[in-house]
Structures are given as structure tokens and as C-alpha cells.
A and B are shown apart, each in its own frame.
Chain A
Amino acid sequence: SQQGEEDPQALSIQEGENATMNCSYKTSINNLQWYRQNSGRGLVHLILIRSNEREKHSGRLRVTLDTSKKSSSLLITASRAADTASYFCATDGLDTGFQKLVFGTGTRLLVSP
């Protein structure tokens, strides 16, 4: 079963606007990661945030993590048409000795020119 829940399920914006996606999870985690998936392709790792971190930046990406609320957000600034994809959060839990990633159901982002 999926652990993470992304919100919204779908998001449609114009180029240049910011896109914010949220992820909630259920159990204590080691790390939380965000991945992008273009249609019919594999997943591309975007960013990893550890459970003791609260915010992380990578280029136009900003990720926050609130372990007390078991939630994370991904902000993409100044979006481009090439950002059109599905975005997934993935967590690996404290109770596993290996990186068993548990993915959410994803947010489908459409960026129109």
C-alpha cells in the first residue's frame, strides 16, 4: 500500500508561475526524497532531505520537511514547460534496514507556455 499522499493530485499552471506540491506520510522516517517522472519514463531523483533537516534548496527547487506533522512540500519556482511531469515523494522508514522506498500517488504537473 502507498504510504505517502500527495496533494494536489493534479496542478495546472502557466510558465513562470511557482508550483507547490505537498506530501504527507504515516510513519517515522530516515529520509524523504522527491522524484520526477516524465510520461512513460523512469523516475529521476530530484532532492533528498534527511529527517533532521527542515529545508533544502537545489536550483529552482525548495523542499521543506516537518516531521512533527509528517509532511513535506516541494516548491518549483519560475516553472517551465519542461517541468511538466508527475512528481512523487518517497520515504524510507526507521524500521527497515535498507532503503525500501515507499512512494506516494504523485502530483501531475502541467506547465503551459
Chain B
Amino acid sequence: ETGVTQSPTHLIKTRGQQVTLRCSSQSGHNTVSWYQQALGQGPQFIFQYYREEENGRGNFPPRFSGLQFPNYSSELNVNALELDDSALYLCASSFLPNQPQHFGDGTRLSIL
């Protein structure tokens, strides 16, 4: 039990739609990172937020955006969904950016 919860667990969308995924971190964890994990692959870093500011970004287009709130919750928003966006989306939190991360169980997003 990592104390990181994600919702929803599963989601089905169609191409072109928009989606918001949510994450609730452990209390006190000021850092949250989001990853995309395609089937059979390792997770790929999307971006990280530290104290509500974006603290770094991977090779994902601007239609992937995020928010972090003072209550240790955060969101991943994806606009104009594409078929290749089908994946498991994981959030991970830590107290500081350079500490081991605690992962939630992810949201499985399917794009039809």
C-alpha cells in the first residue's frame, strides 16, 4: 500500500475527445510525476510537478498537460485523444523531487 490513489481505474474514450485523470498523493508529498506505460513496455516520463509548478517534462506534446493542487491531488489532462494514447497512466509521488517515488495502481485508458 503506497498511499497513492488514482481514479478512475479504467476509462474508454474515442479519438478526438478529452480526458482528465486524477491522482491523490500521500500527505506531505510535494512532488508528483506522471508516466505513460504502453502494453509490454516500461513507463515513460510525461512530466513532474513540484509545489504546483511544472518541474520538468518528457517528450510528450503540449496536448498533455497537468495540474497539482495544494491538497496533494493532481490531474493529467489529455486533449485531442489519439489511438496511440491507449496505455496505463501512472502517477508517482515523493516528498522531494530526488527521492524514490511511490506509485499508484494507474488508470487504464483505452481509445476507440
Contacts and interface: CB of A to CB of B under 8 A. Distances in A.
Contact of B106 (A1, A2, A42, A48): A42
A109 B59 CA distance: 29
Interface residues of A, number: 27
Chain A facing B: main interface SS = loop
B55 interface: yes
A58 interface: no
Interface of B: 2, 4, 31, 33, 35, 40-45, 48, 50, 55-56, 58-59, 90, 92, 94, 97-106, 108
Given A42-B4, A42-B90, A44-B103, A98 B56 contact: yes
A106 B42 contact: yes
A94 to B, nearest CB: 12
A33 B92 CA distance: 14
Contacts of B59: 1
A90 B44 CA distance: 10
Contacts, number: 72
Contact of B97 (A40, A90, A99, A103): A99
A38 B38 CA distance: 15
Closest 3 CB pairs of A and B: A103-B42, A42-B103, A43-B103
Nearest to A106: B42
Interface in A1-19: 1-2, 4
Contacts of A90: 42
Contacts of B45: 100-102
Interface of A: 1-2, 4, 30, 33, 35, 40-45, 48, 88, 90, 92, 96-106
Contacts of A30: 98
Contacts of B103: 35, 42-45
Nearest to A86: B42
Contact of B56 (A1, A48, A88, A96): A96
A24 B45 CA distance: 18
A42 B98 contact: no
11 contacts: A30-B98, A33-B100, A42-B2, A98-B48, A99-B31, A99-B101, A100-B56, A100-B58, A103-B35, A105-B41, A105-B42
